[in-house]
Amino acid sequence: MPSFGLRLRIALAFAAVCIVVVGALGVTLYAAADDMEEALVDQIVSEEVDHLIQRYRSTPDYRPAAGPNFAYHIVRTAEDAAQLPGEVGGLPPGNHEIRVGPDERHVAVRQIDGVRFIVIYDVGPHEAREQQFKNVLLLSLASVATFALLLGYWLAGVLTRQLTELAQRVARLAPDEPYVPLARAEQDAEVAAVARALDDYRSRMTRMVRHEQEFTANASHELRTPLTAIRTSCELLLGEPMLPEKARARVQMIDEAARRMSEQLQTLLFIAREEVLDATEDVALAECVTEAAEAFRGEIGRKGIALEVAIDAMTVLTVNRQALHTVLVNLIRNAVQHTERGFIRVTFLAHRLTVADSGAGIASEHLPHLFERYYRAEDRGSGFGLGLAIVKRICDHYGWGIEVASEPGHGSGFAIVFP
């Protein structure tokens, strides 16, 4: 079913009302004119037969002559009756309508003292005028419909102008510009009500965003404090000359994990606020993948999974390093979590960075929902359902594409498509 805009719907409704009103008026006029014409014809033939009777009474041997649309008959004898048209001969006294082929005739029959008086009137001219009147009505109806549609469209534009202007102003709203209230004194009451509702909604959304920003800022500050303490303690421990090498390696791992956590926290904070991370740099892709997989080396080794990074060491992308690192961490974590044996393979070809695994795969009914927050397939193990949602949010933020291909029992592949 086609969808029409409000302006066109108003115009069509206006035109429909005009057509119905004018059409009803036209039908009424046509019916009234038809009834009046029938009555007029009956009056004419009645007057003509009365005149014929008067002439006969004054002149018994009167022989009437036929007129342009009239035929007169006085039937005195059987010979006179034989000269009558066949369709008229058997008519009883009174006024009649008969058909002679496609033409209509009105016949008045009178009988006085054994003499029949017959007047036949051809209504062809009346029917021609009636058809002309009908054509005029149809032409008028078509003209009114066209005019009503054009006038209705113009009037609808006038009526919806304020609403259209309001929609254009809403479309031009930008979060980084001062907000000018949409409601104005010159607006119609209905449009002003919509504008006030939008103003109220904008106000509530602004308060909610401000509260969220305050919360994220507070959470970021509270999380940075223990992370800073962890990194400070690691630095102090690493400064101990008597620290065993094995312990030193573990402290370095803790320090690196704390640093990465701090960077990821900063990335997620910026994304939550929908701020732009302008810092980009040339990132050695193979190195970034290796760093992202480092945190999962123990799990990969325990499961006996082969980690393959099939990326040329010279491949460089100009991106925000921490954002890419966060995406890779989540994709590799997802692959490690759902792969018990086989491989995890990371490749880069034609601007597509793919993380593929030989894990359990994903059923087709789950694929459309994978990037939804808190969504977890029943057969996908533990987790909060946030990792892939974070990946999708980062990719959308930077204009990267994200694609997934999977088949149960044959593993999955997640591809980041760079512009």
pLDDT for the residue numbered 323: 86
Structural domains of the chain, ranges and CATH numbers in brackets: 6-147 (no CATH), 178-275 (1.10.287), 278-417 (3.30.565.10)
pLDDT for the residue numbered 125: 75
Whole-angstrom Cα distance, residue 325 to residue 353?
A: 12
- 1: part of which helix (H) or strand (E)? none
pLDDT for the residue numbered 344: 92
Residue 117 backbone dihedrals phi, psi, to 5 degrees: -115, 125
pLDDT for the residue numbered 400: 92
The 401-406 sheet, strands edge to edge? 306-310, 343-349, 352-357, 412-417, 401-406
Chain centroid to CA 195: how far? 23
Q: What is the mean pLDDT of each run of 10 residues along the chain (419 residues)?
A: 65 81 81 81 86 85 77 83 80 85 83 86 77 81 83 78 80 74 82 85 81 70 76 85 86 81 67 61 92 84 90 90 87 88 92 91 83 65 65 87 88 92
3-state DSSP call for residue 356?
strand
Structure tokens at 144: 């009114």
User: CB-based contacts of 7: which residues, under 8 Å, 6+ apart?
Assistant: 153, 156, 157, 160
User: Which DSSP letter does residue 367 get?
Assistant: G
pLDDT for the residue numbered 257: 82
Q: Tell me, yes or no, if the pTM score tops 0.75.
A: no
pLDDT for the residue numbered 215: 72
Whole-angstrom Cα distance, residue 260 to residue 22?
A: 78
- 180: part of which helix (H) or strand (E)? none
Classify burial at 343, counting beta carbons within 10 Å of its beta carbon; exposed 0-12, middle 13-18, buried 19 or more.
Answer: middle
